[in-house]
Amino acid sequence: MQRGGLPEDAVVLSAAELADLQDRLFQLRCAAEDVVTAVEDAADHAELRKLAAQVVAVAGELERLR
């Protein structure tokens, strides 16, 4: 069933909400890239754990739409 041309289960974001979502996705990609760089640089276990925790934190924030 459609309402106003949109499917019933559609989610509409404002331009500001979309920009915020894109910013948080960028933060997640950067955090993941930091892990890859650390692995390539043979970082120690503590550093890798810290970076992995950052990925988890950024992903957790991403799960919540603001």
State pLDDT tens for residues 10-44.
888 999 999 999 999 999 999 999 999 999 999 99
H or E stretch covering 18: helix 15-40
The per-residue pLDDT for range 38-50, each reduced to its tens digit, is: 999 999 999 999 9
Contact 8, 1 (CB under 8 A): yes
Q: Is residue 2 part of a domain?
A: no
In a domain, 8, yes or no: no
Whether residue 12 is contained in a domain is answered as no
Domain that holds residue 34: 17-63
Q: How many distinct structural domains can be found in the chain?
A: 1
Is 1 within a domain? no
In a domain, 47, yes or no: yes
Distance of alpha carbon 52 from alpha carbon 49, whole angstroms: 5
- 42 domain-assigned: yes
Confidence (pTM): 0.81
56 touches 34 (CB < 8 A): no
pLDDT the model gives residue 2: 52
Give the Cα separation of 38 and 50 in Å (integer): 11
Within a domain: 43: yes
Is residue 11, in this structure, part of any structural domain at all?
A: no
**At residue 51, does pLDDT exceed 60?**
yes
Which two tokens mark 53? Answer: 């925790």
